[in-house]
A and B are shown apart, each in its own frame.
Chain A
Amino acid sequence: MKKEEVNFGKSDQFNLTMIPGKFAKAMRTNIIWQFIRFIVINIKMLIVVSKSH
């Protein structure tokens, strides 16, 4: 069984949702991808801040 599938069996509530697989999880800590996301999130947050003032 794939790692991400283990928790589906642990509770009925878990069974009805989505659980990230190996690739999605690896991207969360991939430094290059996260650096790009860092820039994107910062820009979006700055836009939200400027729209709020």
Chain B
Amino acid sequence: MARLVVLGGGVSGHTAATFAAKWLGSAHEVVVVTPNSKWNWIPSNIWVGVGEMSKEDVTFDLAPVYAKAGINYKQAKAVSINPEGSGTNDKPFVTIEYTLEGREGDSEVVEYDYLINATGPKLNFGATPGLGEGSNLGEHTVSVCTADHAIHANEEFQKTIETMKNGERQKFLIGTGHGMCTCQGAAFEYIFNIEHELTRAGVRDMADIKWISNESFLGDFGMGGLHMKVGGYAVSSKLFAESLFAERNVDWIIGAHVNKVESGKVHYELLDGSFGEEEFDFSMLIPPFAGVGLKAYSKDGSDITDTIFAPNGFLKVDANYAAGAYENWKASDWPETYQNPTYDNIFACGIAFAPPHPISKPMSSPNGTPITPTPPRTGMPSGIIGKAVAHSICDRITKGENAPLHKASMADMGAACVASAGKGLFDGTAAAMTVYPVVPDYEKYPGTGRDTDYTFGEIGLAGHWIKHILHHLFIWKAKLKFGWTKIPE
């Protein structure tokens, strides 16, 4: 009997673990180690953050789902990996620390035959003074990265509505809280939900709404922007985004590295080297992401963290980390199998794998401060990669150690992103965007790097309905309800 251990029960790890359990059956064991007791459909946290959904709408208990799937669930966080075992144990293992109520802090060693690291991001609020400490959100801004953060964001948001109803103007500042952030799409969605809700509450004319982000142009989204077909033209996402911002009267600051947050004020540096300040009454700033800080030790106990993890804490996989300057970047730099180059029974999926380099053109200010979005690894790629990795491991377990690995390169994969602006079925609209492939391939698609037949964006109710359907569909799938395997990632 082989044992597959999956670290992280988020979008990617949950997909990997549930498919692996289905494909392996009871002949082998699948263990999930994850610190949370609930699964969260993170994209819908946006609606929690404006009071349109509750935490219960976007989360569910993991234990019954894993019991149904025959998965051994440990509510704990992984601390370290011993890929060669230790002096007293020849089998590779991970050391975990329980977060389960009643067992908090208990340590356990979990041996594995195959390991998937799907631990997602550490929300690195501590990277910007005043934004928070370590992975904890600070007191000056709000976040929508977790369901609990989103509840808090909505509480603060409702207070601003009351203040405006009492005749006082309010300033909203939404975007990214550091020069090296990703996930601009989430902030983009949040700012337009805020705008929609303020209009609905009848206080839009009392609100000044501003976007601040590390993108060098509006609509970069960490993907170097995209070109899409609109009204017979092939246009840059810059025009698409700027048009939406202008239409909704949302001003913007771009190319900004937020370097300090204080009560009611952010300080930032721009790509042109100048510095500025912006005041706010309400601010949601996405933190930069890092790996969750797992350590790795060799058999003799020496620290080999640098061998298997990149400096940003993400797991090294089969990517080309030596691509060098932007001019040399190729689609083939991106990983295909997500296998660690040193230990072939360790894989990564979702945000936890170390990308070879950004997708957007790297930029820095004349002062040497890098101000470049890091590459997004959104829900669809995270799910597809999780499934491909699970497939590879299941094949190796059932067909032998030399079974070929499944491939899922982000340069060969699309992503669908639907950014809603409001939740009502007939008054909400959404910007529905599809990009193919996520990583541009200029050899295959000279010019824009992407297939403009399948890279498109439009605003309307249709996208909004899709967003609603996706919410219910993905929660249905994650709960392993009837037909879940047929629902694509």
Q: Which A positions have Cβ atoms within 8 angstroms of B? A: 4, 7-8, 10-11, 13-14, 16-20, 27-29, 31, 33-35, 37-38, 41-42, 44-53
Contacts and interface: CB of A to CB of B under 8 A. Distances in A.
Q: Is the interface of A mostly helix, strand, loop or mixed?
A: helix
A19 B454 contact: no
Given A38-B466, A49-B416, A27 B460 contact: yes
Contacts, number: 96
28 contacts: A7-B246, A7-B247, A10-B249, A18-B243, A20-B243, A27-B460, A28-B460, A31-B426, A31-B461, A34-B461, A34-B462, A34-B465, A37-B458, A38-B461, A41-B432, A41-B462, A44-B454, A45-B466, A47-B454, A48-B416, A48-B434, A48-B436, A49-B414, A49-B416, A50-B488, A52-B412, A52-B436, A53-B387
Given A7-B246, A41-B432, A41-B466, A17 B239 contact: yes
A29 B460 contact: yes
Interface of B: 239, 242-243, 245-247, 249, 251-252, 380, 384, 387, 408, 412-414, 416, 426-427, 429, 432, 434, 436, 454, 456, 458-463, 465-466, 488-489
A53 B384 contact: yes
Nearest to A36: B462
Nearest to B427: A29
Given A34-B462, A51-B454, A19 B416 contact: no
Contacts of A4: 247
Given A45-B466, A49-B414, A53-B489, 17 more contacts: A13-B242, A13-B245, A14-B245, A17-B245, A18-B243, A20-B243, A28-B459, A31-B426, A37-B458, A41-B432, A41-B458, A44-B454, A46-B488, A47-B454, A52-B384, A52-B413, A52-B436
